[in-house]
Amino acid sequence: MHAASLSSDSIQPTRASGHIPVMLEQVFAFLQPCLGGDILDGTLGGGGHAAALLEAGRGKGRLLGLDRDPHALLVARQRLAPFVGQYITLHANFSQAAAVLREAGWAGVDGLLLDLGFSSLQIEEGGRGFSFLRPGPLDMRMDQSSGQSAADIVNASSEEELYRILREYGEERAARVIARAILQERVQGPITTTTALVKIIERSVRRPARHQRHRVHAATQTFQALRIAVNQELQHLAVFLQEGYTLLRPGGRMVVLSYHSLEDRLVKTAFRRWASACICPPQLQVCACDWEPQVRVLTPKPLTPTGQEVMENTRARSARLRAVERCEGGG
Q: What is the CATH number of the domain that holds 76?
A: 3.40.50.150
> Does residue 217 share a domain with residue 158?
yes
How far separated are the first and last CA of the chain, in Å rounded?
A: 20
Final residue of a structural domain among 233, 268, 299: 233
Final residue of a structural domain among 184, 216, 233: 233
What is the spatial distance between Cα 33 and Cα 49, in angstroms, rounded to a whole number? 16
> Does residue 218 share a domain with residue 76?
no
Q: Contact 70/145 with Cβ under 8 angstroms?
A: yes
Q: Contact 170/222 with Cβ under 8 angstroms?
A: yes
Strand order through the sheet with 320-326 = 87-91, 62-67, 38-41, 109-115, 248-258, 320-326, 295-297
Is 331 inside a domain boundary?
A: no
> Does residue 198 share a domain with residue 58?
no
Burial class (CB in 10 A: 0-12, 13-18, 19+), 307: exposed
Q: What is the CATH number of the domain that holds 165?
A: 1.10.150.170
Residue range 46-84, pLDDT digits in tens: 999 999 999 998 889 999 999 999 999 999 999 999 999
Query: Which of 61-65, 124-128, 186-190, 277-281 shows the lowest mean pLDDT across its residues?
Result: 277-281
> Does residue 107 share a domain with residue 136?
no
Number of domains in the chain: 2
Is 251 inside a domain boundary?
A: yes
Final residue of a structural domain among 184, 201, 233: 233
Is 21 inside a domain boundary?
A: yes
> Does residue 65 share a domain with residue 198?
no
Is 2 inside a domain boundary?
A: no
Question: Domain range holding 253?
Answer: 8-121+236-326
- In angstroms and rounded to an integer, the radius of gyration of the C-alpha atoms of the chain is 21
Query: Mean pLDDT of all residues in the chain?
Result: 88
> Does residue 178 share a domain with residue 36?
no
Does position 130 have pLDDT exceeding 90, yes or no? no
Does position 245 have pLDDT exceeding 70, yes or no? yes
> Does residue 95 share a domain with residue 147?
no
Does position 20 have pLDDT exceeding 90, yes or no? no
Is 44 inside a domain boundary?
A: yes
Is 203 inside a domain boundary?
A: yes
> Does residue 96 share a domain with residue 37?
yes
Is 108 inside a domain boundary?
A: yes
207 falls in which pLDDT band (50, 70, 90)? low
> Does residue 211 share a domain with residue 158?
yes
283 falls in which pLDDT band (50, 70, 90)? low
Task: Indicate the Cα dihedral angle 116, 119, 123, 127, nearest 10°.
Answer: -100
Question: What local confidence, expressed as pLDDT, does residue 285 receive?
Answer: 61
> Does residue 135 share a domain with residue 87?
no
> Does residue 109 share a domain with residue 12?
yes
Count the alpha carbons within 13 Å of 275 in the hemisphere toward its beta carbon.
14
What is the spatial distance between Cα 140 and Cα 16, in angstroms, rounded to a whole number? 23
Does position 3 have pLDDT exceeding 50, yes or no? no
Is 17 inside a domain boundary?
A: yes
> Does residue 69 share a domain with residue 214?
no
Question: What local confidence, expressed as pLDDT, does residue 302 receive?
Answer: 97
